[in-house]
């Protein structure tokens, strides 16, 4: 195991482990047959993989880059094309679940790319993820993750509105939530709001990321001509959530 991070403080918890630390992405690439990259978005993927000191310049033929970030499918497809010239494979493998799930080995990995390459990565992914789902061709992992986040964002607004309505109608929102989590109206979004203390608190943590993801979904839908009435209704709900979070699309 070799580690590299843009922020040195990220590596401090691993100081007393057998893991080695690389001084640059290129040094990491030389030491690795599989590089699992987890950064924020498309620009960050480009920063780490390209250029004189980037991953691609130094990776050995036959090695693999797995993109665990959430971004545009075209970024992974474009990177895969460029990597192929170096004899390197790329799969998009965004994750869901957060830090607690990673520590417990129960992240969800949704992988897009060549099936054989995904299977080569599976033993590594399974050290921190369960399940690992191969969802299709390159880029399909990102599309799957973005659609999941699209639905979650829309559900957040619906849940927050229901809790707000409860107060306006004379019902304690916490009592409503206590009932709903045991009833047919339960949702992951409602539980997330309860766990973090409301939409305002969640906005501080994830508002910008939600905005980024909805913009990407809209771009994909527009390109595919799939912005029909049904998609529009969900988009309206997602936009309402972003507005409530102070991060309008």
CA pair distance 28, 36, nearest whole angstrom: 11
DSSP code string of 97-122: SHHHHHHTT-EEEEEES-HHHHHHHH
Q: Is 37 helix (H, G, I), strand (E, B) or coil?
A: strand
Residues carrying an active site annotation: 145
Which of 109, 111, 57, 45 shows the shortest CA–CA distance to 87? 57
b/e map of 98-124 (b: 16 or more CB within 10 Å)? eeebbeeeebbbbbbbbeebbebbeeb
User: Residues 6 or more apart from 198 whose CB is under 8 A from it?
Assistant: 160
Phi, then psi, of 58 in degrees rounded to 5: -125, -5
Q: Is 233 helix (H, G, I), strand (E, B) or coil?
A: helix
């Amino acid at each position: 195991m070799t580690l590299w991070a843009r922020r040195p403080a990220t590596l401090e918890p691993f100081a007393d482990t057998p893991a080695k630390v690389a001084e640059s992405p290129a040094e990491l690439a030389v030491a690795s047959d599989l590089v699992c990259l987890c950064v924020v978005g498309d620009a960050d993927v480009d920063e780490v993989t390209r250029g004189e000191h980037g991953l691609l310049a130094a990776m050995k033929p036959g090695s693999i880059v797995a993109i665990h970030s959430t971004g545009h499918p075209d970024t992974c497809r474009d990177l895969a094309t460029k990597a192929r010239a170096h004899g390197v494979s790329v799969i998009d493998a965004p994750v869901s679940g957060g830090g607690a799930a990673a520590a417990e080995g129960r992240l969800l990995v949704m992988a897009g790319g060549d099936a054989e390459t995904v299977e080569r990565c599976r033993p590594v992914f399974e050290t921190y993820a369960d399940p690992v789902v191969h969802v299709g061709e390159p880029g399909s992992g990102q599309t799957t993750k973005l659609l999941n986040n699209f639905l979650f964002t829309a559900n957040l607004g619906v849940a927050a509105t229901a809790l707000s309505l409860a107060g306006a109608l004379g019902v304690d929102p916490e009592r409503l939530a206590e009932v709903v989590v045991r009833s047919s109206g339960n949702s992951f979004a409602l539980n997330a709001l309860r766990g973090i203390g409301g939409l305002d608190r969640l906005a501080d943590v994830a508002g910008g990321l939600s905005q980024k993801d909805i913009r990407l979904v809209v771009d994909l839908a527009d390109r595919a001509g799939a912005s029909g009435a049904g998609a529009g209704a969900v988009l309206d709900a997602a936009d309402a959530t972003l507005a409530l979070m102070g991060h309008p699309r």
